Protein backbone atom coordinates (compact mmCIF):
# COMPACT_ATOMS: atom_id res chain seq x y z
CA UNK A 1 0.00 0.00 0.00
CA UNK A 2 1.46 3.37 -1.01
CA UNK A 3 1.47 6.32 1.34
CA UNK A 4 -0.64 9.12 -0.11
CA UNK A 5 1.10 11.90 1.75
CA UNK A 6 3.76 12.55 4.36
CA UNK A 7 3.27 15.53 6.62
CA UNK A 8 6.65 16.78 7.87
CA UNK A 9 6.31 19.10 10.82
CA UNK A 10 10.07 19.68 10.96
CA UNK A 11 12.38 18.82 13.83
CA UNK A 12 10.74 17.91 17.11
CA UNK A 13 11.23 20.38 19.97
CA UNK A 14 11.94 17.52 22.39
CA UNK A 15 13.38 14.75 20.20
CA UNK A 16 12.82 11.80 22.52
CA UNK A 17 9.59 10.16 23.55
CA UNK A 18 7.29 11.59 26.16
CA UNK A 19 7.39 11.26 29.91
CA UNK A 20 5.13 8.46 31.20
CA UNK A 21 3.71 8.79 34.72
CA UNK A 22 1.71 5.99 36.37
CA UNK A 23 -1.01 7.32 38.68
CA UNK A 24 -2.85 4.01 39.16
CA UNK A 25 -1.45 3.51 42.69
CA UNK A 26 -0.98 5.70 45.75
CA UNK A 27 2.66 6.27 44.75
CA UNK A 28 3.02 8.34 41.55
CA UNK A 29 5.63 6.47 39.51
CA UNK A 30 7.70 7.80 36.64
CA UNK A 31 7.84 4.86 34.21
CA UNK A 32 9.70 6.63 31.42
CA UNK A 33 11.59 9.91 31.83
CA UNK A 34 11.13 12.57 29.20
CA UNK A 35 11.24 16.33 28.85
CA UNK A 36 8.89 16.71 31.81
CA UNK A 37 11.04 15.80 34.80
CA UNK A 38 10.08 14.26 38.13
CA UNK A 39 10.81 17.60 39.80
CA UNK A 40 8.37 19.38 37.47
CA UNK A 41 5.67 16.81 38.23
CA UNK A 42 6.29 17.00 42.00
CA UNK A 43 5.88 20.77 41.86
CA UNK A 44 2.42 20.37 40.35
CA UNK A 45 1.07 17.38 42.29
CA UNK A 46 2.85 18.35 45.53
CA UNK A 47 3.89 14.80 46.35
CA UNK A 48 7.10 12.82 45.75
CA UNK A 49 7.38 10.83 42.53
CA UNK A 50 8.99 7.40 42.55
CA UNK A 51 11.53 6.96 39.74
CA UNK A 52 11.10 3.53 38.17
CA UNK A 53 13.64 4.35 35.48
CA UNK A 54 15.96 1.57 34.52
CA UNK A 55 13.27 -1.07 34.99
CA UNK A 56 13.20 -3.39 32.02
CA UNK A 57 11.25 -6.33 30.72
CA UNK A 58 12.36 -8.91 28.17
CA UNK A 59 11.06 -8.64 24.62
CA UNK A 60 8.71 -11.58 25.29
CA UNK A 61 7.03 -9.81 28.23
CA UNK A 62 4.43 -7.08 28.09
CA UNK A 63 5.66 -3.74 29.34
CA UNK A 64 3.58 -1.48 31.58
CA UNK A 65 4.81 1.47 29.56
CA UNK A 66 6.33 1.93 26.11
CA UNK A 67 10.10 2.02 26.17
CA UNK A 68 10.58 -0.42 29.05
CA UNK A 69 12.06 -3.21 26.95
CA UNK A 70 15.76 -3.84 27.54
CA UNK A 71 16.48 -2.92 23.92
CA UNK A 72 14.62 0.10 22.60
CA UNK A 73 15.35 2.07 19.42
CA UNK A 74 18.73 0.42 19.01
CA UNK A 75 20.49 1.07 15.70
CA UNK A 76 21.32 -1.90 13.44
CA UNK A 77 25.01 -1.00 13.73
CA UNK A 78 26.47 -2.38 16.99
CA UNK A 79 26.26 0.47 19.49
CA UNK A 80 28.22 0.65 22.72
CA UNK A 81 28.03 3.05 25.65
CA UNK A 82 31.00 4.27 27.61
CA UNK A 83 31.77 6.51 30.56
CA UNK A 84 33.95 9.56 29.79
CA UNK A 85 36.95 8.02 31.59
CA UNK A 86 36.81 4.98 29.24
CA UNK A 87 37.30 6.96 26.01
CA UNK A 88 40.90 5.75 25.65
CA UNK A 89 39.64 2.13 25.40
CA UNK A 90 37.86 2.85 22.11
CA UNK A 91 39.32 2.07 18.70
CA UNK A 92 37.76 4.74 16.45
CA UNK A 93 38.74 2.92 13.22
CA UNK A 94 35.61 2.61 11.06
CA UNK A 95 33.51 3.76 13.99
CA UNK A 96 31.75 6.90 15.18
CA UNK A 97 31.89 8.40 18.65
CA UNK A 98 29.04 10.53 19.99
CA UNK A 99 30.44 12.65 22.82
CA UNK A 100 28.39 14.70 25.25
CA UNK A 101 28.99 18.18 23.88
CA UNK A 102 25.56 19.74 24.21
CA UNK A 103 23.19 20.47 27.05
CA UNK A 104 20.62 17.78 27.88
CA UNK A 105 17.74 19.38 25.94
CA UNK A 106 19.77 19.93 22.77
CA UNK A 107 21.23 16.43 22.96
CA UNK A 108 17.76 14.91 23.37
CA UNK A 109 16.52 16.76 20.28
CA UNK A 110 19.34 15.32 18.18
CA UNK A 111 19.93 11.82 19.60
CA UNK A 112 17.71 9.71 17.33
CA UNK A 113 18.48 11.71 14.18
CA UNK A 114 22.20 11.30 14.81
CA UNK A 115 21.80 7.57 15.47
CA UNK A 116 19.81 7.10 12.24
CA UNK A 117 22.41 9.04 10.25
CA UNK A 118 25.29 7.02 11.69
CA UNK A 119 23.37 3.78 11.17
CA UNK A 120 23.31 4.46 7.41
CA UNK A 121 27.10 4.84 7.13
CA UNK A 122 28.13 1.15 7.22
CA UNK A 123 30.27 1.65 10.32
CA UNK A 124 31.85 -1.13 12.35
CA UNK A 125 30.39 0.35 15.53
CA UNK A 126 28.87 3.40 17.18
CA UNK A 127 30.22 4.50 20.57
CA UNK A 128 28.10 6.79 22.70
CA UNK A 129 29.43 8.63 25.72
CA UNK A 130 27.09 8.37 28.70
CA UNK A 131 25.96 11.67 30.17
CA UNK A 132 26.08 12.31 33.90
CA UNK A 133 23.53 10.47 36.03
CA UNK A 134 21.75 13.67 37.05
CA UNK A 135 18.06 14.65 36.83
CA UNK A 136 18.43 16.81 33.71
CA UNK A 137 20.05 13.88 31.86
CA UNK A 138 17.77 11.03 33.09
CA UNK A 139 15.71 10.80 29.89
CA UNK A 140 18.73 10.86 27.54
CA UNK A 141 20.68 8.43 29.70
CA UNK A 142 17.70 6.04 29.78
CA UNK A 143 17.46 6.05 25.96
CA UNK A 144 21.21 5.50 25.53
CA UNK A 145 21.18 2.60 28.01
CA UNK A 146 18.37 0.93 26.05
CA UNK A 147 19.90 1.54 22.60
CA UNK A 148 23.42 0.30 23.42
CA UNK A 149 25.50 -2.42 25.04
CA UNK A 150 28.22 -1.84 27.62
CA UNK A 151 31.69 -1.22 26.20
CA UNK A 152 33.60 -4.47 25.84
CA UNK A 153 30.61 -6.69 25.06
Residue span of the structural domain in which 88 resides: 79-150
Among 143, 131, 11, which residue's Cα sits nearest to residue 79? 143
* pLDDT score of 102: 81
* pLDDT score of 58: 65
Q: How confident is the model at residue 8 (pLDDT cuts 50, 70, 90)?
A: confident
Q: Round the average pLDDT of the chain to a whole number and report it.
A: 87
* pLDDT score of 46: 94
pLDDT digits (tens, 9 = 90+) for 49-98: 998 866 666 667 777 777 676 677 789 999 999 999 999 999 888 899 98
Comparing 59 with 24, the larger pLDDT belongs to 24
Q: Within a domain: residue 87? A: yes
Q: Within a domain: residue 21? A: no
* pLDDT score of 3: 82
Q: How confident is the model at residue 152 (pLDDT cuts 50, 70, 90)?
A: confident
- Alpha carbons within 13 A on the beta-carbon side of 54: 5
Q: Within a domain: residue 112? A: yes
Comparing 136 with 54, the larger pLDDT belongs to 136
Q: Within a domain: residue 35? A: no
Helix (H, G, I), strand (E, B) or coil at 40: helix
Residue range 89-118: mean pLDDT, rounded: 90
Question: What DSSP element (H or E) covers 113?
Answer: helix 104-119
Q: Within a domain: residue 73? A: no
pTM of the model: 0.81
How many domains in the chain?
Answer: 1
* pLDDT score of 55: 63
Rounded Cα distance, 83 and 81, in Å:
7
Q: Within a domain: residue 39? A: no
Amino acid sequence: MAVAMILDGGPCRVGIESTVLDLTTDLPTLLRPGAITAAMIEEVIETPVYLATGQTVSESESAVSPGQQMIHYAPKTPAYRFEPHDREKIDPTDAAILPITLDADAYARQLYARLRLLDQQNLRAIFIELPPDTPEWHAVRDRILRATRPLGR
